[in-house]
Amino acid sequence: MRSVKIARTIIELNTLLNQYRISSTIGFVPTMGALHQGHLSLINESKMQCNFTVCSIFVNPTQFNDKKDLERYPRTEDEDLKLLKEANCDLVFLPSVLEMYPEPDKRVFDFGTLDKVLDGEARPGHFNGVAQIVSKLFDIVKPTKAFFGLKDYQQVLIIKALVKQLNFNIEIIACPILREKDGLAMSSRNALLNVSERKLAALIPQLMSSIPSLITAGYSFNRILLHFETKFLANGYNLDYLKLANAQTLQIENDFTDNHQQIVLIACFVGKIRLIDNLLL
């Protein structure tokens, strides 16, 4: 096992990375830490496709529209470094808030429909914060490829739009969702669930994976929505949204069609913890 190089400032990062920039393909995995196998699958994919892998860990304040959510977000630096070392990640960038935002970032992005619906609507300002931090990180790391998880499906589409809008010469690689044994999508937020909430959370993948057979049985999307609402109510969940959308444009749609690919996206609160998942049809 090699040790993972650590950079906490942009100068340190450049000192460690510059020697690799000319001859190596650089893979980049931006994260907010509290790493799990889902994150590590992105590191592994980067290691397969590139010859130098950089992971960043930064809990980005500008993408949290809820201050309490930012405060309670898990921070587990020592454990993260251990996992990155085991995964043979080459370099980890661990900047401070001041390093990333020496001045307030006043940029306002517009991604058309992509940032107005779903989490864009439910978490005002969230994707603007994501675009701010990811564009800064792309400018600093200058990767060849960057790896993102499809668990955050809307984020992947927005990052692809960001790369186009700002002319980044970076290939965005979308990676599959890693799940726990009971189907729950791995997430740093799962660690915040208590034992009974964690058990209840398995209802999300159970219901989501039942959708294809409900469609085959002739259910309309509205009937599925009603079915979900009833189940969630009975289990004391608070459903934030369950929506059907065009998988490319994220335009919200009312019912199933064979004309183009669609996706079902869900966000719900289990206790105080907000979880998301999706199912490509």
> By CB under 6 A, which span of 20-28, 93-101, 175-183, 261-269 interacts with ligand AMP?
175-183
If one asks whether residue 143 binds ligand AMP (CB under 6 A), the answer comes out as no
What pairing do the DSSP bridges indicate for beta strands 145-149 and 171-175? parallel
If one asks whether residue 39 binds ligand AMP (CB under 6 A), the answer comes out as yes
The distance of closest approach from Cβ of residue 259 to ligand AMP in the complex, given in angstroms and rounded to an integer, is 28
* Length in residues, the chain: 281
# chain residues binding ligand AMP, by CB under 6 A: 17
* Under 8 Å between Cβ of 40 and 87: yes
Strand order in the sheet with 171-175: 5-7, 91-93, 52-57, 26-31, 145-149, 171-175
> By CB under 6 A, which span of 11-19, 65-73, 113-121, 172-180 interacts with ligand AMP?
172-180
Q: Is the CB of 224 or the CB of 263 nearer to ligand AMP?
A: 263
Closest CA to 119 of 73, 166, 151, 163: 151
Joined together, the tokens standing for residue 150 give 């499809």
If one asks whether residue 45 binds ligand AMP (CB under 6 A), the answer comes out as no
Non-local (6+) Cβ contacts of 51 within 8 A are 24, 25
Q: Is the CB of 190 or the CB of 262 nearer to ligand AMP?
A: 190
Residue choice 26, 186, 263, 276 for contact with ligand AMP (CB under 6 A):
186
> By CB under 6 A, which span of 70-78, 113-121, 186-194, 249-257 interacts with ligand AMP?
186-194
Residue choice 4, 17, 38, 90 for contact with ligand AMP (CB under 6 A):
38
Q: Following DSSP, what letter does each residue of 145-188 receive, concatenated? A: EEEEEGGGHHHHHHHHHHHHHTT---EEEEEPPPB-TTSPBP-G
The distance of closest approach from Cβ of residue 9 to ligand AMP in the complex, given in angstroms and rounded to an integer, is 21
Establish whether 260 is a catalytic residue: no
If one asks whether residue 145 binds ligand AMP (CB under 6 A), the answer comes out as no
If one asks whether residue 185 binds ligand AMP (CB under 6 A), the answer comes out as yes
Q: How far apart are CA 52 and CA 56, in angstroms?
A: 13
If one asks whether residue 31 binds ligand AMP (CB under 6 A), the answer comes out as yes
Strand partners of residue 52: 26
If one asks whether residue 99 binds ligand AMP (CB under 6 A), the answer comes out as no
Q: How far apart are CA 79 and CA 35, in angstroms?
A: 8
* Under 8 Å between Cβ of 268 and 275: yes
Residue sitting closest to ligand AMP (CB): 149
Q: Is the CB of 76 or the CB of 249 nearer to ligand AMP?
A: 76
If one asks whether residue 188 binds ligand AMP (CB under 6 A), the answer comes out as yes
If one asks whether residue 178 binds ligand AMP (CB under 6 A), the answer comes out as yes
Give the distance, in angstroms, between the CA of residue 218 and the centroid of all CA atoms in the same chain. 32
Q: How far apart are CA 196 and CA 194, in angstroms?
A: 6
> By CB under 6 A, which span of 15-23, 80-88, 173-181, 193-201 interacts with ligand AMP?
173-181
Q: Which residues are catalytic?
A: 39
Q: Which residues bind ligand AMP (CB under 6 A)?
A: 31-32, 38-39, 41-42, 148-149, 151-152, 175, 177-178, 185-188
